[in-house]
Structure 1
Amino acid sequence: MHIDPRDDSASLYRTLTGLVVPRPIGWISTRSEDGVDNLAPYSFFNAVSVDPPILMFSPVDRPDGLSDTTVNVRETEAFVVNLVTHEFAEAMNQTSAELPSTESEFDHADLERAPSERVDPPRVAGVAAAFECELYDIIDVGSNSVVLGEAVSIHVRDDITTDGKVDTSKLEIVGRLAGGAYDWTTDRFEMERPD
Structure 2
Amino acid sequence: MRFDMNKLSGQERYKVLASSIVPRPIAWITSISTDGVRNAAPFSFFNMMGNSPPTVAIGLMPQAGHLKDTAANILATGEFVINLVDEPNAEAMNLTCIDAPADIDEIELAGLSVEPSDTVAPPRISTAPVSMECRMLSSVVTGPLQTIVIGQVNMVHIRDEFVLDAQRCYVDTQRLGLVARMHGNGGYLRLGDYFQIDRPTWKEYTENKADRPKLSPL
- TM-score (ref. length: structure 1): 0.96
For 1:1-195, what aligned pairs fall within 5 Å after superposition?
A: 1-9=1-9, 10-143=11-144, 144-164=146-166, 165-179=170-184, 180-195=186-201
Task: Give unpaired runs (5+ residues) of structure 1.
Answer: none
Cα deviation, residue 128, structure 1:
0.6
Equivalent residue of 2:148, what SS? strand
Task: Give unpaired runs (5+ residues) of structure 2.
Answer: 202-218
Cα deviation, residue 154, structure 1:
0.8
Equivalent residue of 1:24, what SS? coil
Equivalent residue of 2:72, what SS? helix
Cα deviation, residue 178, structure 1:
0.9
Structure 2: how far apart are the matches of 1:47 and 1:3? Answer: 28
Taking only aligned residues, the RMSD between alpha carbons, in angstroms, comes to 1.1
Equivalent residue of 2:60, what SS? coil
Structure 2: how far apart are the matches of 1:33 and 1:192? Answer: 47
Q: Conserved in 1, the CA contact under 8 Å of 2:131 and 2:158? A: yes
Measured against aligned partners, the alpha-carbon deviations of 1:9-28 in whole angstroms (never above 9, x if no partner) come to: 24110110000000000011
Equivalent residue of 2:155, what SS? strand
Structure 1: how far apart are the matches of 2:93 and 2:87? Answer: 10
Cα deviation, residue 63, structure 1:
3.7
- TM-score (ref. length: structure 2): 0.86
Equivalent residue of 1:91, what SS? helix
Structure 1: how far apart are the matches of 2:174 and 2:14? Answer: 32
Structure 2: how far apart are the matches of 1:191 and 1:138? Answer: 35
Structure 2: how far apart are the matches of 1:110 and 1:75? Answer: 26
Which residue identity lines up with residue 183 of structure 2 in the other structure? A
The structure with the largest helix share of the pair is: 2
Equivalent residue of 2:41, what SS? strand
Q: Which runs of 4+ in 1 moved over 3 A?
A: none
Which residue identity lines up with residue 57 of structure 1 in the other structure? I
Equivalent residue of 1:155, what SS? strand
Equivalent residue of 2:76, what SS? helix
Cα deviation, residue 169, structure 1:
2.1
Structure 1: how far apart are the matches of 2:194 and 2:88? Answer: 19
Structure 2: how far apart are the matches of 1:148 and 1:50? Answer: 13
Structure number with greater CO (CA < 8 Å, separation at least 6) is: 1
Aligned-residue identity in percent: 37
